[in-house]
Amino acid sequence: MKALIIVDVQNDFTPGGALEVEFGDRIIPGINELQSKFDLVLATQDWHPANHKSFASNHEGKQPYEKIKLKMLDQVLWPDHCVQGTKGAEFHPDLNMNKVAAIFRKGMDTEIDSYSGFFDNGRRKSTGLTGYLKEHGVTDAFFCGLAGDICVFFTAKDAIEEGFRSYLIQDLSQPLDHKAYANALEEFEKRRGIVVNSQKIDSFL
């Protein structure tokens, strides 16, 4: 059983958004097209309270992209983004959500960030995604979305550790930082993750 997991294709990560990924909207038609090939389609949604500690605005004198320690973990401070209930947190209007069976929200705990759709960055709490996938008999998990070097990468990497065959669809993900993305893909493959192109995905389905 194979599942497609669409990571954080939200307004704030697309052009015009608070934490925009350049060309982040260009992957959406391809993601929509791909969905019909999967029996199970899921999505993750970055979903922060306004007082989230990953926001620079919640630290006196700090600017976005500065680095701090949060609960002993390295934390990049971000512009306010994906605040619960705002337009920026909504899925991009062009993303077809009809086939999406469940949405896994993350980043709700003010004290810790959550790049992966499986766990927070300290691996303290699970979102339940592993249990959901296992209960549905999923063996192979395919990931795409935004941002390629951050939430797509960390989610796909955790999928390997959770015992799934994990595929990262390279052309249907867009990174915030291209150099970080190249490093991330290399690390993903070293850990036996499989980087695929949507045009060649049929041989894996």
Instruction: Give the residues lining the site for ligand VGL (CB under 6 A).
Output: 8, 13, 46, 78, 146-147, 150-151
Site membership for Zn ion, residue 149 (CB under 5 A) = no
CA distance linking residue 108 with residue 81, whole number of Å: 12
* Residue 150: contacted member of ligand VGL, Zn ion, none (CB under 5 to 8 Å, by partner type): ligand VGL
Task: Please identify, using beta-carbon distances, which residue of 110 and 136 lies nearer to ligand VGL.
Answer: 110
Given strand 165-174, what is the order of strands in its sheet? 100-106, 40-46, 2-7, 140-146, 165-174, 194-196
CA distance linking residue 23 with residue 4, whole number of Å: 21
CA distance linking residue 32 with residue 16, whole number of Å: 21
Site membership for Zn ion, residue 46 (CB under 5 A) = yes
Is the alpha carbon torsion for 172, 177, 179, 185 positive or negative?
negative
**Is residue 109 annotated as a catalytic residue, yes or no?**
no
Catalytic residue, candidates 53, 80, 82, 106: 106
Catalytic residue, candidates 8, 12, 46, 158: 8
Token representation of residue 40: 């199970």
At residue 169, what is the residue type? I
Question: CB of 87: closest distance to Zn ion in angstroms?
Answer: 16
Site membership for Zn ion, residue 120 (CB under 5 A) = no
**Is residue 200 annotated as a catalytic residue, yes or no?**
no
Task: Please identify, using beta-carbon distances, which residue of 74 and 202 lies nearer to ligand VGL.
Answer: 74
**Is residue 94 annotated as a catalytic residue, yes or no?**
no
List residues near Zn ion by CB under 5 A. 46, 107
Which residues have a catalytic role annotated? 8, 106, 151
